[in-house]
Structure formats: C-alpha cells, structure tokens
C-alpha cells in the first residue's frame, strides 16, 4: 500500500520527505518499483528493506543505514523541534522505567515527579503536551474532565494492542460492529499480550472503560442509541465493522421530492477513514440507527 500512504503524505504532509521501509524482508522479498514511484513522488528519499525481528542480528547493518538516513533527514528540518532540559529528560527516563512496571501512572504521581525537578505550573502543562505529542505519555483531557479518570497512560502499546484485539476479534465481526461492555471483558479477560519490548500487557476490569473511551476519542466507535444514555452507554458501534450493504428499510423514496442533494467529488485522494469519522462525529443525528460501512442516514 505504498501509493496510498504516499498520496496521504501528499495531501496532508506538504510534500514532506519520505523514507520507504519494507518490513519482513527475511520472509519474502520486498518488491517496490521505486523508479516509478519517484516519478510521481519526488519527495521519496530512499527505500530500506528491513526485518524488525532482526534489528540486533542479521539485519543490524541495514538498520544502521536506515538510522543514519533518518537522522540526516531530521537534521535538514532545522531547529524547529522541541528541546528538553536535563531535568525534563530525567523525568522522561523515569517514566520509561515506570512503564515497564505499570502502563499507567497517576496524575498526582506525575505532578510530584515534575515538581521534584522544578517543573511545575504552566511549564509542566506544556511538558505534558509535548510528551503526549511524542507518544511518551498518552492523556485525553476530555476523558479526565468528563469521566474523572486520574491516570496517564505510559505505554501506548497497551492501548494499541487492546484496541486491535477488539477490532479484529471474531465476536465483534459476528456482531457487525456492535460492541457491548460485557464483550470487552469477554474478549480481553485473562488475556496477556507481549508488546514486543518484553512488557507483558494485562487488561484488568477496572481499565476497560478507559480503553473504550479512548476508542471513542479516536473516533473508532460511538455510543449506541440503545444504551442507558446520559453519557453512560454500555453499548457501542464500530462503523468500520457495520454491514457493507445499505439497509433495505430506507425512507428516501417517500422523501425524495423536494429534497436537497449534495454530490462530492474527490479528484485526488480521500482517506479511507473519513466516512467512519464523519459517522462518529454525527452519531447524534443518525436516523433510526441507519448506518452502514459506506453511508449513514441523518436526520434533516
């Protein structure tokens, strides 16, 4: 899918330099027509065939070449990147060490760690924002305000693996994207996952609500109208797993006369997640629950 992501960069990345990486080259040759791709995407700086499982062994040299190329491109960007002080780096190292023990850290513990190194007030908030942008700490202000959650996520792989386990579960596929709170427990209970860095990820019952809220923040799901309401839904809909066919009980024919019609044409690139995000953002306007993978019936 190299061309898809190259078009994505063209549309949203302002022709940013690109290093193409083909993984699992130890299993099968990575065949990419780089000459043809460079004709249409001159921002490609190089191609690297790698094997993530062999970065310390057989493919160590190839990873070294990729690292040097990556650093060289970063240096060309100029000094527009954030700089951290020694005290801030000490906090980052402390957080990384903690993440190997527990994927979560209480807000009070984070504040104390920062205060102990003279980072507080507005600077602490700016520091937290940078850590979130870098993926060192994941926090959702809306979840903290609306749900009273008081912990930060130190290991983003806990979230990634948890979400993917749900989205690719046979149960959720059979239910065509209808996710109940009990389903989350059923899919993840007693499950331990290794994140590739030697950390064992566990999903205790008290963390599962955060996982669902995070999915909603990323616009991967929305609360079902069949839930209890008042923001406390225990049923959710994942648009990407809805039935692909348009529902038969549509009322468009009866309402067609005098209705406004809009046709949108995207001549270059339409990210495949756009419609799903649109459905999530407008879930309150969905008429009679009529939504499917490729469309949605909204109230007028």
Residue ranges, the chain, pLDDT below 50: 227-231
* The predicted structure's pLDDT at residue 123: 93
268 and 289 co-located in one domain:
yes
Q: What is the pLDDT of residue 55?
A: 82
pLDDT of residue 231: 47
- Secondary structure of the chain in HEC code, one letter for each residue: CHHHHHHHHHHHCCCCCEEEEECCCCCCCCCCCHHHHHHHCCCEEEEEECCHHHCCCCCHHHHHHHHHHHHHHHHHHCCCCCCCCHHHHHHHHHHHHHHCCCCEEEHHHHHHHHHCCCCCHHHHHHHHHHHHHHCCCECCHHHHHHHCCCEEECCHHHHHHHHHHHHCCHHHHHCCCEEEHHHHHHHHCCCEEECCCCCEEECCHHHHHHHHHHHHHCCCCEECCCCCCCCCCCEEECHHHCCCCCCCCCCHHHHCCCCCCCCCCCCCCCCCCHHHHHHHHCHHHEEEEEEECCEEEECC
Residue 162 lies in a domain: no
pLDDT tens-digit readout, 134-164: 889 998 888 888 787 889 999 999 999 999 9
> Are residues 245 and 233 located together in one domain of the fold?
no
| pLDDT number for residue 229 | 42
Asked if residue 176 and residue 224 are part of one domain, the reply reads yes
Does 259 map to a domain?
Answer: yes
In a domain, residue 163? The reply is: no
Evaluate whether residue 159 is within a structural domain.
Answer: no
Task: Please report, for the domain that includes residue 103, its CATH number.
Answer: 1.10.10.10
pLDDT for 164 equals: 93
Last residue of a domain, one of 126, 153, 180: 153
213, 266: one domain: no
Instruction: Determine, yes or no, domain membership for 64.
Output: yes
Q: Are 136 and 196 part of one and the same domain?
A: no
Number of domains in the chain: 4
- Is residue 161, in this structure, part of any structural domain at all? no
Residue at a domain's end among 127, 153, 179: 153
pLDDT the model gives residue 78: 67
Residue 103 counted as domain residue: yes
Q: What is the pLDDT of residue 230?
A: 40
Domain ranges, residue 135: 86-153
Examine the domain organization and report whether 145 and 199 are in the same domain: no
Q: Which of 28, 46, 77 is the last residue of a domain?
A: 77
What was the pLDDT predicted at 2?
83
């Amino acid at each position: 899918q190299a061309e898809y992501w190259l078009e994505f960069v063209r549309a949203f990345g302002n022709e940013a330099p690109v290093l193409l990486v083909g993984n699992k080259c130890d299993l099968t040759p990575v065949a990419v027509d780089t000459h043809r791709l460079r004709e249409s995407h001159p921002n490609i700086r190089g191609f690297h065939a790698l094997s993530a499982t062999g970065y310390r062994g057989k493919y160590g040299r190839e990873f070294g070449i990729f690292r040097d190329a990556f650093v060289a491109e970063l240096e060309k960007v100029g000094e527009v990147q954030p700089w951290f002080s020694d005290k801030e780096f000490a906090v980052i190292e402390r957080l990384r060490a903690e993440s190997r023990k527990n994927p979560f850290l209480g807000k009070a513990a984070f504040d104390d760690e920062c205060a102990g190194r003279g980072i507080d007030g507005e600077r602490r908030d700016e520091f937290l924002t940078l850590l979130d942008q870098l993926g060192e700490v994941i926090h959702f202000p809306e979840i903290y305000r609306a749900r009273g959650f008081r912990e930060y996520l130190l290991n983003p792989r806990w979230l990634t693996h948890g979400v993917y386990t749900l989205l690719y579960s046979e149960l959720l596929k059979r239910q065509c994207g209808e996710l109940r709170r009990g389903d989350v427990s059923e899919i993840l209970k007693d499950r331990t996952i290794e994140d590739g860095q030697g950390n064992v990820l566990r999903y205790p019952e008290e963390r599962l609500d955060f996982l669902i809220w995070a999915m909603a923040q990323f616009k991967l799901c929305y609360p079902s109208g069949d839930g209890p309401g008042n923001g406390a839904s225990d049923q959710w809909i994942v648009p990407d797993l809805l039935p692909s066919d348009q529902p038969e009980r549509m009322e468009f024919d009866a309402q067609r006369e005098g209705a406004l019609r809009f046709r949108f044409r995207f001549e270059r690139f339409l990210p495949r997640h756009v419609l799903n995000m649109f459905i999530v953002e407008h879930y309150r306007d969905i008429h009679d629950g009529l939504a499917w993978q490729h469309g949605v019936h909204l109230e007028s």
